[in-house]
């Protein structure tokens, strides 16, 4: 457990996974690599629920508020069947990258606060599970620690979870962390 990949979507579940990864890195003298896959399948309201999103800046939350207030796109049934994960209120790429950068900076700051070496990898624009597995192979990762059912909760029910696919296909040890219990 020397090189640990932590995919993060910025959710509380991803935060719990980061805590586990930081504990492991601390115990085993390891380092952390942080990965964010663009949240293309998220509605603006989903993104507004991210912990500490206001820290990304008033312009980010204002832009997401405007998108959330806009009427949903009209989609043909064939488009819905072909792309069931596509939101009815898509978020522009630039805004998704800004949110992703915020998520990675926040995770990096948490690692640094614990005195753990962390490196944020380039943001990836691809399907989440294959992107995580590919990054693990490319980076020589020996452990992946990821949250179960972060922002992709609905997708998990209908299509299977990202964590499940990663754990089945990754070439290394995978640890899937359950969401924190509500108090």
pLDDT of residue 160: 59
Q: What residues contact 166, with CB distance under 8 A and at least 6 apart?
A: 7, 129, 132, 133, 144, 146, 174, 176
Strand-pair partners of 7: 35
Which pLDDT tens digit goes with each residue over 106-122? 999 999 999 998 999 99
Q: What phi and psi, each to the nearest 5 degrees, are found at residue 37?
A: -105, 130
Q: Domain limits of the chain?
A: 3-177
pLDDT of residue 161: 85
Nearest to 148 by CA among 170, 166, 122: 166
pLDDT at 36 over 50: yes
Q: Over pLDDT 90: what percentage of the chain?
A: 77
Report how far residue 101's alpha carbon sits from residue 145's, in angstroms, rounded to the nearest whole number. Answer: 20
Q: What residues contact 99, with CB distance under 8 A and at least 6 apart?
A: 10, 39, 47, 50, 53, 56, 60, 91
pLDDT of residue 151: 52
Which pLDDT tens digit goes with each residue over 78-112? 888 888 888 889 999 999 999 999 999 999 999 99
pLDDT at 154 over 50: no
Q: What phi and psi, each to the nearest 5 degrees, are found at residue 31?
A: -125, 160
- The sign of the dihedral angle between the CA atoms of 148, 122, 101, 41 is negative
Domain 3-177 has CATH 3.40.50.620: yes
* pLDDT, average across residues 143-148: 94
How do strand 118-120 and strand 3-7 relate by DSSP bridges? unpaired
pTM: 0.89
């Amino acid at each position: 457990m020397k090189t640990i990949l932590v995919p993060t979507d910025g959710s509380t579940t991803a935060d719990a996974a980061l805590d586990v990864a930081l504990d492991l890195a601390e115990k085993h003298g390891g380092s952390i690599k942080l990965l964010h896959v663009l949240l293309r399948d998220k509605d603006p309201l989903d993104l507004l629920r991210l912990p500490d999103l206001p820290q990304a800046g008033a312009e980010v939350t204002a832009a997401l508020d405007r998108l959330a207030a806009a009427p949903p796109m009209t989609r043909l049934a064939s488009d819905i069947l072909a792309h069931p994960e596509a939101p009815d209120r898509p978020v522009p790429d630039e805004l998704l990258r800004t949110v992703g950068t915020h998520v990675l900076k926040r995770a990096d700051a948490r690692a640094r606060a614990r005195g753990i070496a962390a490196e944020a990898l380039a943001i990836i624009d691809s399907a989440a599970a294959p992107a995580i597995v590919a990054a693990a192979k490319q980076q020589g990762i020996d452990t992946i620690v990821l949250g179960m059912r972060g922002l992709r909760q609905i997708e998990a029910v209908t299509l299977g979870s990202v964590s499940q696919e990663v754990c089945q296909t990754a070439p290394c040890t995978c640890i899937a962390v359950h969401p924190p219990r509500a108090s």
